[in-house]
Amino acid sequence: MSDIVLKEITKRFEEKTVISDRDFVFPGGKISSVMGPSGAGKTTLLMLIAGLSAPDTGEITGVPERLSFVFQEDRLCEDFNAVANVRLVTGKRIPDEEIREELLRLGIPEESLSQPVREFSGGMKRRVSIARAILYDPELILLDEPFKGLDEDLRRNVMDELLEKLHGKTVILVTHDPEEAEYMGGKIISL
């Protein structure tokens, strides 16, 4: 799997320059963590890699076709249940049973699986969004503060699940918590 390389990247929002002429390399098939204070452009960096936003200057190469993104906002279809939210991106490729198992492994209670996600707590929505990203079976996964709002036990559980399922894939994790970055392992990039 090829590395993701960003060369001489600059990104401005109106007058504010968020990223100024920077180079980044994210090793293919490995985990990298991006750290930095809020407002340093961590989310912007992920949006650029995902192709959802274009850099003002510079070049991005090595981004695979299939990628998932755990956005800071969960971006779920609130009227639908957790399984349907995953099926939105997987289609019929994955049987419902497998989706259900993944959601259970991420700690969604069985009785909640048939409820619309608008009734879910913030932490539960987070995990549905993570399940969706995992089951899409991406080559690259972008995680924007994915453990925010999860308590200590859940956080460990979710991190372990991610480590197991994303082994051998390119993972870019944005976090402000050094402990998370350390636990997930791999390269640490500061903004």
Q: Which residues bind other proteins (CB under 8 A)?
A: 50, 52, 67-69, 71, 73, 75, 77-81, 84, 88-89, 91, 114, 116, 132, 136
Provide, rounded to whole angstroms, the least separation between the CB of residue 76 and other proteins: 8
Provide, rounded to whole angstroms, the least separation between the CB of residue 119 and other proteins: 12
Closer Cβ to other proteins, 118 or 156, answer by number = 118
Closer Cβ to other proteins, 32 or 68, answer by number = 68
Provide, rounded to whole angstroms, the least separation between the CB of residue 190 and other proteins: 26
Closer Cβ to other proteins, 35 or 47, answer by number = 47
Inter-CA distances, 86 with 77, 98, 100, 146, Å? 10, 11, 9, 17
The Cα 9–Cα 41 span in angstroms is 12
Provide, rounded to whole angstroms, the least separation between the CB of residue 179 and other proteins: 28
Structure tokens at 32: 């990298």
The Cα 117–Cα 133 span in angstroms is 16
Place of tokens 């987070």: 126
Closer Cβ to other proteins, 108 or 181, answer by number = 108
User: Side chain identity at 128, as an amino acid letter?
Assistant: V
Which residues, other chains included, contact 66 with Cβ-Cβ below 8 Å and sequence gap of 6+? Answer: 136, 137, 138, 139, 140
Closer Cβ to other proteins, 68 or 175, answer by number = 68
Provide, rounded to whole angstroms, the least separation between the CB of residue 37 and other proteins: 24
Read off φ and ψ for residue 35, nearest 5 degrees: -120, 160
